[in-house]
């Protein structure tokens, strides 16, 4: 039986490539090939650029209100098709349907809706200088590229297209080769909503196609989500024609639990920030620092809830709350980190092994794993693992834990749990991280800018400033007085 084939989406339609080259997409919960995806060959790449140029001419000439109306129609379609889209995301990513159903599509739609609302609010300025004056216009950049990771495929496509398109740009989006379907569904929805062809094109492939986007001289900006190392390569390539970049990269974020915290709440946060999407979330709080006087209480509740409340298995089962890791390769990487943790002297409190749940025996499952007796020099405490692996570390003193929390090259997120309002703010202000939570963890509404400090990123997604980052300012000086010329 031949497998379904996913094509590149160019100029409003699915377009066959000329080379016939394609790659397999595998369901992480079964390790079966579920469909094949055609690679963007030279023909597709050329068409993608030509189409984007045409799309830009039409889209940028429309008023912001007209663009907004189309984006809002797409938002309504995303919400209407939530369940079908959620299922597509589960098959591609291995994450539980109980998450995809209420988070992935919804938070993607929220962001497009937010930027659709902001689009008509973009203002220029005017200022008098002597008898003359100048005014500014906010203009779009032109053709932008988005490159996505595999953990939130459709959501990432929405988060990048929302601000880019609202500001009048067009976007060529390359989803991760592990999860290419969601972006194509979004492209179809945009067309159905009345978006002109060429405004949102989708090209498929791995690093080579990504690299092509980052070096192409007609592309003005690259918004990238992925690993730090890949981000460095993307930035280097983007420098070839001085493209603007946004980098949403990895993290190794601290959660600090003080002795006056509500322990049950803090445990909820630690579990959400380590086991949601089977640990494959960039902002995860994989270093949990707990003040020594409440350490035992915290550990006891954490172990108990992890061992009793987590259900692994077929991610399409609505009762399952821990899904499969994206690939066999990634599974091996996570298991290798767990072995390293054991070798370097950390103690497994619970988990620490590959799991084979009855309902999905061939999937890439790792039991939710908690390490105690960790120290800050261990590899598992220093490096991003991107799996359900939490390290818990005791601390005594506020200043000391701030130093330890900041002792990393990464700076994506951080959390503090404390009932002492002064302490909570004082500590969070000293943490070198771009996305911070007090007595909460993981929420990321469209209105809130998100992005990393240090090696975790450059620029922001969401929030007002992101719309600005997809515009350039044109200053226009208007002479009203006679020109003074020595010539």
> Taking CB positions, which residue lies at the least distance from ligand NAD?
210
Residue 411 and residue 432: Cα distance in Å, rounded?
A: 6
Beta carbon nearer to ligand NAD, 391 or 401: 391
CB of residue 271 to ligand NAD, shortest distance in Å: 19
CB of residue 202 to ligand NAD, shortest distance in Å: 12
Beta carbon nearer to ligand NAD, 7 or 424: 7
Beta carbon nearer to ligand NAD, 52 or 219: 219
Beta carbon nearer to ligand NAD, 372 or 431: 431
CB of residue 246 to ligand NAD, shortest distance in Å: 10
For 314, the token pair is 């077929």
Residue 106 bears catalytic tag: no
Beta carbon nearer to ligand NAD, 233 or 423: 233
Residues that bind ligand NAD (CB under 6 A): 147-151, 174, 176-177, 206-207, 210-211, 214, 225-227, 230, 233-234, 248-251, 282, 384, 386, 412, 452, 457
CB of residue 238 to ligand NAD, shortest distance in Å: 9
CB of residue 177 to ligand NAD, shortest distance in Å: 5
CB of residue 1 to ligand NAD, shortest distance in Å: 28
**Non-local CB neighbours of 99 within 8 Å, separated by 6+ positions:** 276, 277, 321, 323
For 232, the token pair is 């460095």
Q: Taking the alpha carbons of 471, 223, 35, 95 in that order, is the dihedral positive or negative? A: negative
CB of residue 205 to ligand NAD, shortest distance in Å: 7
DSSP-assigned beta bridge partners for residue 457: 248
Q: Residues 185, 248, 280, 384: which is the catalytic one? A: 248
CB of residue 366 to ligand NAD, shortest distance in Å: 16
Residues annotated as part of the active site: 248
């Amino acid at each position: 039986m031949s497998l379904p084939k996913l094509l590149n989406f160019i100029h409003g339609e699915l377009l066959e490539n000329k080379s016939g080259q394609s790659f397999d997409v595998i369901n992480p919960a079964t390790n079966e090939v579920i469909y094949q995806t055609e690679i963007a060959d030279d023909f597709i790449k050329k068409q993608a650029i030509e189409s984007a140029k045409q799309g830009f001419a039409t889209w940028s000439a429309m008023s912001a209100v007209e663009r907004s109306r189309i984006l809002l129609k797409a938002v309504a379609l995303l919400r209407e098709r939530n369940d079908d889209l959620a299922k597509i995301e589960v098959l591609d990513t291995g994450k539980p349907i109980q998450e995809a159903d209420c988070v992935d599509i919804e938070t993607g739609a929220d962001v497009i809706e937010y930027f659709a609302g902001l689009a008509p609010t973009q203002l220029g300025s005017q200022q008098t200088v002597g008898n003359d004056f100048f005014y500014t216009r906010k203009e779009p950049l032109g053709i932008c590229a988005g490159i996505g990771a595999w953990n939130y495929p459709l959501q990432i496509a929405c988060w990048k297209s929302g601000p880019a398109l609202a500001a009048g740009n067009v976007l060529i989006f390359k989803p991760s080769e592990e999860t290419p379907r969601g972006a194509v569904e979004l492209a179809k929805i945009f067309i159905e909503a009345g978006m002109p062809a060429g405004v949102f094109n989708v090209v498929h492939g791995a690093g080579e196609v990504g690299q092509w986007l980052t070096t192409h001289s007609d592309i003005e900006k690259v918004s990238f989500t992925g690993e730090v190392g890949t981000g460095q390569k993307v930035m280097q390539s983007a420098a070839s024609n001085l493209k603007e970049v946004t980098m949403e990269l990895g993290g190794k974020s601290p959660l600090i639990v003080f002795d006056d915290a509500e322990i049950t709440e803090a445990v909820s946060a630690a579990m959400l920030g380590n086991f949601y999407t089977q640990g494959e979330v960039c902002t995860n709080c994989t270093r949990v620092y707990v003040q020594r006087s409440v350490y035992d209480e915290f550990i006891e509740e954490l172990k108990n809830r992890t061992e009793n409340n987590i259900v692994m298995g077929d991610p399409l089962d609505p009762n399952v709350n821990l899904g499969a890791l994206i690939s066999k390769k990634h599974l091996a990487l996570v298991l290798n980190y767990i072995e390293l943790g054991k070798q370097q002297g950390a103690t497994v409190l619970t988990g620490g092994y590959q799991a084979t749940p009855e309902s999905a025996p061939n999937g890439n499952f790792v039991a939710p794993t908690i390490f105690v007796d960790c120290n800050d020099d261990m590899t598992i405490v220093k490096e991003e693992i991107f799996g359900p692996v939490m390290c818990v570390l005791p601390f005594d003193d506020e200043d000391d834990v701030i130093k330890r929390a900041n002792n990393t090259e990464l700076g994506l997120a951080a959390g503090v749990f404390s009932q002492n309002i002064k302490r909570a703010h004082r500590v969070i202000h000293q943490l070198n991280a771009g996305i911070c939570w007090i007595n909460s963890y993981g929420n990321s509404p469209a209105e809130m800018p998100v992005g990393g400090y240090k090696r975790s990123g450059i620029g922001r997604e969401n929030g007002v400033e992101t719309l600005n980052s997809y515009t350039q300012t044109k200053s226009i000086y208007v002479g009203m007085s006679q020109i003074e010329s020595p010539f």
